[in-house]
Structure 1
Amino acid sequence: MTIVIVKKGDSLWEIAKMNKVDPSRIVAVNGLESTSLVPGLALYIPDDKVVNRTYLIKNGDTLSKIARRFGTSIAAIMKANPGLVASSLKVDTEILIQSPYKNQLITLGFAFPTSGGVVFKTLEENGDKLSYLAIVAYSFTKEGYAFVDGDDLPLIAKCEQTGVTPLLMIRNFRDGDFDADLAGEVLASSIYRGNLIKSMLNFVREKGYGGVSMDIEFIPPARRSDYVLFLKELKEGLNELILHVNVHAKTSDNPDNRIVGGHDYRGIGEVADLVAVMTIDFGYPTGPPEPISPLWWMVEVIRYALTNIPAYKLQSAFPMYGYDWIVPSNDTKALSAQNAQNLAIATGSEISFDTSAASPTYSYRKENLDHVVWFEDIRSISAKYEVIDAYELIGATYWQIGLEFPQNWAYMEQNIIIIK
């Protein structure tokens, strides 16, 4: 894998020549809308170079044991990690390993009901890189009856055609937003919980879903145990079908917190087949301009989650987007990772990279208004894959596949084996 960071004066043709690749290949892989470049732009150039795996040393590890696991040699590990002392391996030390074995992941994309467009294009081109697709089409009434908002059948059919297992995704959405009261009302009643489970299972069986992805947010803390009970009853009804649960990102339990307190990591982790921690929107709409998913925060969230949820069930959420803030009002517009990159080129904005957050950013001025953009690129996304490799998580989720991010799919093609 080669990542080229554009410098002032660089041209696409020079970069292509230096890396022995056709310029059109660089344009396609990186989703460029023109041959123009700006300083700081990260270009991904797929090649035959082996990408280092990332590993955290554990109790009882020896270099010979690690070498056997990754199909390499002690000498190769020592060469890749100058200063490493074979006789004194320290637990939690991160090392790089050149391995012929690719990381194997369970992946899940999210998509809204559609019968074409970017979502279908993504499935056609990259369905082999997704284990599951959670179709964001369901909510429920205050009595717990699930209902569909939109026609999900074309997307289910497209999943079957491209070898991706569709999951019914349900949210506590009312009047266009997550509704804590709606979740609380239903979870508080055994009758309403039963209504929701029964109606969800009816849709699953009727439409051929492979399971359910739960996205119940801002659950009132008082309903915390009721949510775990609900999930247990739902899993009993699903039987062998998948129960996937999305949970708020947090770095401690905070059981009384009105935003994250309703998600009991340990209880949910015991019941669910897969748990996705939503390591996205650290920088959020109308808030101050900040990285969408800073790496240091992602690591903190994962480390806490692993004290309650086993790694073989845990996924981390990857953003496929960026935010464009107008400052100082903080009015915010979302845009795909590809569009954020191309906006920098269109405005002639130099891109900088926050190494602690592992996130790209730039600013520009338009119509007398100052803008700040944080987004994702090949540098930030590859760093996230290294983290889930190091902590041995089972996989990643992508919000959402209607947002174009060709660098991500190209990286996966070269470096990841998908578990179906």
Structure 2
Amino acid sequence: MQIHVVASNETLSSIAQAYGTTAQSIAESNRVPNPDRLVIGQTLVIPITGRFYFVKTGDTLWSISRKFGISYEELARINGIPVNQPLSSGYRLYIPPMPKTEREFNGYVEPLGTSVTQALENSAVEAAPYLTYLAPFSFQAQRDGSLKAPPLNNFESIARNNRNVLMMVINNQENGQFSDELGRILLTNPAIQAAFLNNVVRTAKQYGFRDIHFDFEYLRPADKEAYNQFLRTAKARFSQEGWLLSTALAPKTSAAQKGKWYEAHDYKAHGQIVDFVIIMTYEWGYSGGPAQAVSPIGPVRKVLEYAITEIPPSKIIMGQNLYGYDWTLPFVQGSQAKALSPQAAILLAGRNNVPIEYSKTAQAPHFSYTDTQGKKHEVWFEDARSIQAKFDLMKTLGLRGMSYWKLGLPFPQNWLLISDNFNVRKRS
């Protein structure tokens, strides 16, 4: 497959002709939301085996072969040209597909309210073939050690039909907020902790969960070691059942990082105790903050480069957002940006007749527009280029895989690129 960035005056037909495929194939694969009016800067994943490279001034067979990890002799043979043939600018070379490695992928799915919408269930069905884990968000721990379950509907059967491990996500939220006091009780009261673990085991058996995932956030710094010891106890208990244990971790860049979100998350201890961690490498740009990329590559890389000094890379799953935000400018503290899918972002750019730009620094697409009330907006979202940049980082660092927050906002290019880059590990 190949990522193409739409230029001025291009159409699906002209793009398809350049790559030897059909407009219908491109439109269907990408579920192009604007097939009759492409936006300059919009990305398309071209559904072909391998890819084409269009020669630039100064390119040679040798320099191109090094770029793609193939010998120049083999590149010449595949394209039916002499090894010493000069290459003219614009000449099209075919590049065969690269070998794929195996990785794990998780998708959180969050029902809102007391039911699962059909659209959300459909999103889980679409994503499940590309996932190792399916993670309904979430069971809420209670102060007496009991659990409040989310609506689960058909998630168990979706996971079973797609050989997903059903992940039991448990958090320490009360009234929609993470509670350090609830965390303190669960981690330091032996009787309640025992009841809590008993309830986790009983519930996991009832629904068929095979990974228990603790998303305990904003714990008291004083409870760091209590959390570590709790995980040791939980690991011993769950191993008897043949289950995995995983945790969600805040995106730290050092062991000494201050702040309630960070201090109780001991990267080194989690790396020793649990089977894998999911690091929440997103929300630099968030709904309540100023406009910027949600998961800029630089800060994401910095977190993960620190993480691999404390945790084996084979235990690290990178967090990734499947959404973007639309901010009204100028940013005012207390205002809220609107979440939107990559598909919706493309349509919004098209309606306002503005091109999509791409930040090489953040490795993320963005655009600005003025609404009908004369208010200026800035939009940052994800596209095939930004996801490919994260996949490349996964490969470079040797990480276990990627976890998506969250299913429900359509982004078909992401699933296309998983198939092109990796073999998805299935654990059943």
TM-score scaled by length of structure 1: 0.85
Aligned to 1:322: 324
Aligned to 1:43: 44
Q: Deviations over 1:25-64 (max 9, x none)?
A: 2222223222211211111112111699xxxxxxxxxxxx
Change in CA separation of 1:100 and 1:398 when aligned onto 2, cut-off 3 Å: same
Aligned to 1:404: 410
Aligned to 1:207: 207
Aligned to 1:193: 193
Aligned to 2:78: none
Is 2:340 the partner of 1:338?
A: no
Change in CA separation of 1:168 and 1:44 when aligned onto 2, cut-off 3 Å: same
Q: Could you tell me how far apart the structure 2 residues matched to 1:50 and 1:311 are? A: 29
Structure 2 counterpart of 1:249, which letter? P
Aligned to 1:382: 388
Q: Deviations over 1:358-406 (max 9, x none)?
A: 0011111112221111111000000100000011111110111222110
Aligned to 1:11: 11
Aligned to 1:146: 147
Tell whether the 8 Å contact from 1:221 to 1:256 is kept in structure 2 after alignment.
Answer: no
Change in CA separation of 1:153 and 1:122 when aligned onto 2, cut-off 3 Å: closer
Aligned to 2:297: 295
Q: Could you tell me how far apart the structure 2 residues matched to 1:242 and 1:179 are? A: 25
Alignment of 1:21-420 (within 5 A): 21-35=21-35, 36-49=37-50, 100-113=98-111, 117-149=118-150, 151-239=151-239, 240-254=242-256, 256-328=258-330, 329=332, 330-366=335-371, 367-420=373-426
Q: Could you tell me how far apart the structure 2 residues matched to 1:353 and 1:140 are? A: 42
Structure 2 counterpart of 1:417, which letter? N
Q: Secondary structure at the match of 2:154?
A: helix
Q: Could you tell me how far apart the structure 1 residues matched to 2:98 and 2:374 are? A: 53
Q: Secondary structure at the match of 2:102?
A: strand
* Shift in Å, 1:332: 0.8
* Shift in Å, 1:231: 1.1
Change in CA separation of 1:354 and 1:346 when aligned onto 2, cut-off 3 Å: same
Change in CA separation of 1:115 and 1:285 when aligned onto 2, cut-off 3 Å: closer
Aligned to 1:93: none
Tell whether the 8 Å contact from 2:109 to 2:124 is kept in structure 1 after alignment.
Answer: no
Structure 2 counterpart of 1:259, which letter? W
Q: Which has the larger radius of gyration?
A: 2
Q: Secondary structure at the match of 2:193?
A: helix
- Identify the range of structure 1 (324-333 vs 229-238) with the bigger mean alpha-carbon deviation: 324-333
Q: Deviations over 1:319-340 (max 9, x none)?
A: 1110111122342111122222
Tell whether the 8 Å contact from 1:327 to 1:371 is kept in structure 2 after alignment.
Answer: yes
Change in CA separation of 1:217 and 1:26 when aligned onto 2, cut-off 3 Å: same
Q: Could you tell me how far apart the structure 1 residues matched to 2:257 and 2:190 are? A: 22
* Shift in Å, 1:297: 1.0
* Shift in Å, 1:115: 5.1
Percent identity, please.
29
Structure 2 counterpart of 1:232, which letter? R
Q: Could you tell me how far apart the structure 1 residues matched to 2:396 and 2:96 are? A: 14
Change in CA separation of 1:246 and 1:212 when aligned onto 2, cut-off 3 Å: same
- Identify the range of structure 1 (159-168 vs 114-123) with the bigger mean alpha-carbon deviation: 114-123
Structure 1 counterpart of 2:285, which letter? G
Change in CA separation of 1:210 and 1:71 when aligned onto 2, cut-off 3 Å: farther
Q: Could you tell me how far apart the structure 2 residues matched to 1:331 and 1:226 are? A: 36
Q: Secondary structure at the match of 1:270?
A: helix
Tell whether the 8 Å contact from 1:324 to 1:371 is kept in structure 2 after alignment.
Answer: yes
Change in CA separation of 1:74 and 1:269 when aligned onto 2, cut-off 3 Å: farther
Change in CA separation of 1:342 and 1:244 when aligned onto 2, cut-off 3 Å: farther
Q: Deviations over 1:170-221 (max 9, x none)?
A: 1112112222332233223222322222211111011111121211111111
Structure 2 counterpart of 1:385, which letter? F
- Identify the range of structure 1 (39-48 vs 289-298) with the bigger mean alpha-carbon deviation: 39-48
Q: Could you tell me how far apart the structure 2 residues matched to 1:343 and 1:184 are? A: 45
Tell whether the 8 Å contact from 1:153 to 1:207 is kept in structure 2 after alignment.
Answer: no
* Shift in Å, 1:156: 1.1
Q: Could you tell me how far apart the structure 1 residues matched to 2:107 and 2:359 are? A: 27
- Identify the range of structure 1 (340-349 vs 121-130) with the bigger mean alpha-carbon deviation: 121-130
Gaps of 5+ in 1: 53-66, 78-96
Q: Secondary structure at the match of 1:373?
A: strand
TM-score scaled by length of structure 2: 0.84
Q: Could you tell me how far apart the structure 2 residues matched to 1:267 and 1:74 are? A: 47
* Shift in Å, 1:409: 0.4
Tell whether the 8 Å contact from 1:221 to 1:255 is kept in structure 2 after alignment.
Answer: no
Gaps of 5+ in 2: 54-65, 76-94
Tell whether the 8 Å contact from 1:118 to 1:404 is kept in structure 2 after alignment.
Answer: no
- Identify the range of structure 1 (315-324 vs 112-121) with the bigger mean alpha-carbon deviation: 112-121
Q: Secondary structure at the match of 1:307?
A: helix
Q: Could you tell me how far apart the structure 2 residues matched to 1:39 and 1:359 are? A: 15
